[in-house]
């Protein structure tokens, strides 16, 4: 995608480009392309295998990753693996649907149906915005960079403890943690944001074992619904704490 820009340069099968847009400096890294695993195996090419490794290293070095998929192609297992790597590395992400203008007979529902398909097949990136680009060389680069800038701001955003705990209190009031067979129920004492890039939240509770994975996903969903964080993974850490001190609050 970046190879079409005249100022780009290619080095070690990576295209690097520096741009200034809206008073921001962007360093863009375009990989040589990750070929399907079967293709790499059949060719036995060391160069191609190295390009895969370079792509994963590029993900680790990036702040925001644009996962490019072709509009007319199916999402593959390799796309899924790349998506998993992006989430695991805690990177911001946007899914770029390339050559959207080549889809025939589009109507008002086409993008909706396409997004539903992407969300099902790339579940680990359910939080990533989708950007539709055209096949015209360089035409959508600015739109992608604007979206990437917004994602990086979300990834670097920090919430006050009071706002976090307001969101948590409302979430608990709407749906309390489930009771165990013995009648025990989880209690959230308070929550605080411990880090950014990616945003990381620590929940102090009476017993982490009383909060099943389904409830933890529910809490993440509520945080996203009420506080945003589009385009970035968020981390929820759960810590047991037997009792509160006088300076602690309770949700």
Locate CATH 3.30.300.20 in the chain: 161-240
Token pair in block for residue 6: 């005249």
**pLDDT value at 149 more than 70:** yes
pLDDT given at position 10: 46
The Cα diameter of the chain in Å comes to 68
Distance in angstroms (rounded) separating the CA atoms of residues 83 and 233: 11
pLDDT given at position 139: 67
Output the 3-class SS for the chain.
Answer: CHHHCCCCEEECCEEEEEEEECCEEEEEEECCCCCCHHHHHHHCCHHHHHHHHHHHHHHHHCCEEEEEEECCCCCCHHHHHHHHHHHHCCCEEEEEEECHHHCCCCCCCHHHHHHHHHHHHCHHHCCCCEEECCCCCCCCHHHHHHHHHHHHHHHCCCCCHHHHHHHHHHHHHHCCCCECCCCCECCEEEEEEEECCCCEEEEEECCHHHCCHHHHHHHHHHHHHHHCCCCCCCEEEEEECCCCCCCCCCC
**pLDDT value at 243 more than 70:** no
Mean local confidence (pLDDT), 5-18: 54
Helices 213-227, 161-174: crossing angle, 10 deg rounding: 120
Distance in angstroms (rounded) separating the CA atoms of residues 190 and 165: 6
pLDDT given at position 150: 95
Locate CATH 3.40.50.300 in the chain: 2-155
Distance in angstroms (rounded) separating the CA atoms of residues 13 and 54: 8
pLDDT given at position 38: 46
Q: What CATH number does domain 161-240 carry, 3.40.50.720, 3.30.300.20, 2.60.40.1170, 3.30.70.2740?
A: 3.30.300.20
**pLDDT value at 3 more than 70:** no
pLDDT given at position 45: 61
**pLDDT value at 210 more than 50:** yes
pLDDT given at position 247: 55
Whole-structure pTM value: 0.83
**pLDDT value at 200 more than 60:** yes
Instruction: Give the confidence band of 9 by pLDDT, cuts at 50, 70, 90.
Output: very low
Q: Identify the burial level of 174 via C-beta atoms within 10 angstroms of its C-beta, where 0-12 means exposed, 13-18 middle and 19 or more buried.
A: exposed
Distance in angstroms (rounded) separating the CA atoms of residues 126 and 99: 22
pLDDT given at position 56: 86
2-155 adopts what CATH topology? Rossmann fold (3.40.50)
Distance in angstroms (rounded) separating the CA atoms of residues 77 and 140: 26
Least confident of 42-51, 157-166, 195-204: 42-51
């Amino acid at each position: 995608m970046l190879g079409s820009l005249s100022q780009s340069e290619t080095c070690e099968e990576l295209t690097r480009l520096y741009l200034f847009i809206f008073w921001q400096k962007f360093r863009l890294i375009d990989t040589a392309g990750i070929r399907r695993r079967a293709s790499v195996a059949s060719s036995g090419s060391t160069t191609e295998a190295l390009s895969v490794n370079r792509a994963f290293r590029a993900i680790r070095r990036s702040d925001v990753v644009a996962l490019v998929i072709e509009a007319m192609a199916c999402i593959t297992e390799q796309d899924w693996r790349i998506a998993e790597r992006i989430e695991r590395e805690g990177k911001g992400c946007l899914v770029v649907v390339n050559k959207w203008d080549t889809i025939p007979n589009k109507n008002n529902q086409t993008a909706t149906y396409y997004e539903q398909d992407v969300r099902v097949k790339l579940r680990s990136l359910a939080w990533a915005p989708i950007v539709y680009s055209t096949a015209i060389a360089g035409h959508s680069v600015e739109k992608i960079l604007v979206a990437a800038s917004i994602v990086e701001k979300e990834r670097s955003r920090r919430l006050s403890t009071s706002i976090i705990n307001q969101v948590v209190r409302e979430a608990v009031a709407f749906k309390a943690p489930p009771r165990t067979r013995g009648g025990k129920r989880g209690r959230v004492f308070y929550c605080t944001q411990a880090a950014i890039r990616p945003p990381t939240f620590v929940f102090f509770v009476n017993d982490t074992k009383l909060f099943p994975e389904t409830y933890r996903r529910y809490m993440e969903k509520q945080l996203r619904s009420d506080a945003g964080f589009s385009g970035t993974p968020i981390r929820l850490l759960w810590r047991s704490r037997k009792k509160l001190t006088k300076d602690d609050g309770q949700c």
